[in-house]
Copies of this chain bind each other. A is one copy, B any other.
Amino acid sequence: MPALNETTAPGGVDATHDAALRCWVARADGHADFPIQNLPFGVFSPGAQAPLRGGVAIGDSILELGAALRAGLFTGEAERAASAAAGENLNAFLAMGAAPRQALRARLSAMLSAGSPDQRMAEGCLHRAADCTLHLPARVGDYTDFYVGIHHATNVGRVFRPDNPLLPNYKYVPIGYHGRASSLRVSGTDVRRPKGQLKAADADAPRFAPCEKLDYELELGIWIGPGNPLGQPVPVAEAAQQVAGYCLLNDWSARDIQAWEYQPLGPFLAKNFGSTISAWVVTPEALAPFRIAQPARPDGDPAPLPHLLDEADQRQGAFDIQLEVLISTPLMREKGLPPHRLSRSNTRHMYWTVAQMVAHHTSGGCNLNPGDLLGSGTISAPDAAGFGSLLETTRAGKEPVTLSSGETRSFLKDGDEIVLRARAVRDGAVSIGFGECRARILPAV
């Protein structure tokens, strides 16, 4: 077993990433999301009435950590970490930081590898994922949404300021705002179309009615680990240690409500009726092979201020993770048509790294807590085939998109289902997936 518990740097690639590793769990090898090189953590229940518990996704199965603990399959630091991750939420596990998480990963990798002497014991700890319900992996104390997708910010800004779409602060400040934690829901939970105040440009007054411009937003979610005390900023060079994992985030947005309400204090009801996240916490360790250098800033862009600049972060603080958005309409499902791909993007289009987001967030002293969630903001690619929201793809509804079913969409209709997916594949490395971030639109009440 590699001494991974001594490797706390997020960039370290080790034996747990070896593409040649084989797993004894059926259908794990070559699994699109959850091969043995991934090992994401989550919370599930194996039946409708069963208590919530922590587990690890492996192929089409879930390893129940509590069962494996009872079977005596962990010792030392890995046992301590597994105990923290075995309960109804992962907060205590996220709080532990990198070393115990890495020890647990190393032990799970060994336990699940083909030829492991633990196979028979561990087999008894597996559930068929299809029989399980997934839950939010942690209690989210605070949820912050950023705006680091520069092509998204440019596209949205262009609507208001065609000649100067990015505001002057954008390339200095990792723009963010506080979101609503209470309405975060796990993938698979329906989302109710909100009502709100809508005001037509030529109307004298707003009316209260169901949102007519309902949209999705393709985002990366970031789970906070240990956290920092109030008044003690996290230096950018230490910020990666604050990140316990990643997920997908659909920041549903009511564009018409937003347009009327957002001045001067930002989006509120346009966003807080619900946000959907994928269930699995994909660890920094699983994503280590997919680290890339922060893409060079275009000529003329200012350098980050010193408190946001770290050489190691610039060298390996970004990610190469493919993102996609799929839509399935009621007509598609009726006709048995596959979902239509709306967008293909990549996390490399984030203007700021996650470490810069964390350093900025805490730079004035704000405290982060284990289980806090950060959103990246919408991650759009530079080209229209990779825009991360319908607002951009349809140019605020003016150029509806035609779907494979022949239907068109300016914005989302009731019954539409949006699925976000993420996959990391590089240089022959095994594919690491995030699982789905899926939700369907219910009609307004």
- On whether the beta carbons of B175 and A178 are closer than 8 Å, the reply is no
With A179-B178, A197-B173, A254-B364 known to touch, is A230 a contact of B185 (CB < 8 Å)? yes
User: CB-defined interface of A128-147 with B at 8 Å, one 1/0 digit per residue?
Assistant: 00000000000001101001
Q: Give chain B residues whose Cβ lies under 8 Å from the Cβ of A117.
A: none
Give A317-376 interface residues, CB cut-off 8 Å to B: 360-361, 363-369, 372
Q: How far is the CA of A201 from the CA of B442 in the complex (A)?
A: 48
- Is there contact, CB below 8 Å, between B366 and A272? yes
Task: Return chain B residues, CB-CB under 8 Å to A46.
Answer: none
Q: How far, in angstroms, from A437 to B239 measured CA to CA in the complex?
A: 33
Contact A192 B365 (CB under 8 A): yes
With A169-B260, A231-B445, A445-B231 as contacts: A269 and B363 at CB distance below 8 Å: yes
A27 close to chain B: CB less than 8 A: no
- Supposing A176-B268, A206-B172, A364-B269 touch, asked if A233 and B369 sit within 8 A by C-beta, the answer is no
- Taking the nearest CB of chain B, how far is it from the CB of A170, in angstroms? 9
B205 touches A364 (CB 8 A): no
- Least CB distance, A303 to chain B, in whole angstroms: 10
- Residues of chain B within 8 A (CB-CB) of A233 are 195, 445
C-alpha spacing A183/B361, complex, angstroms = 12
Give the interface of A toward B (CB within 8 A): 141-142, 144, 147, 157, 167, 169, 172-173, 175-183, 185, 192, 194-197, 199, 205-208, 211, 230-233, 254, 257, 260-269, 272-274, 302, 305-307, 360-361, 363-369, 372, 442, 445
Task: Jot down 8 A-B pairs with beta carbons below 8 A, ordered by A.
Answer: A169-B199, A175-B265, A177-B267, A182-B372, A185-B230, A208-B306, A265-B266, A265-B267
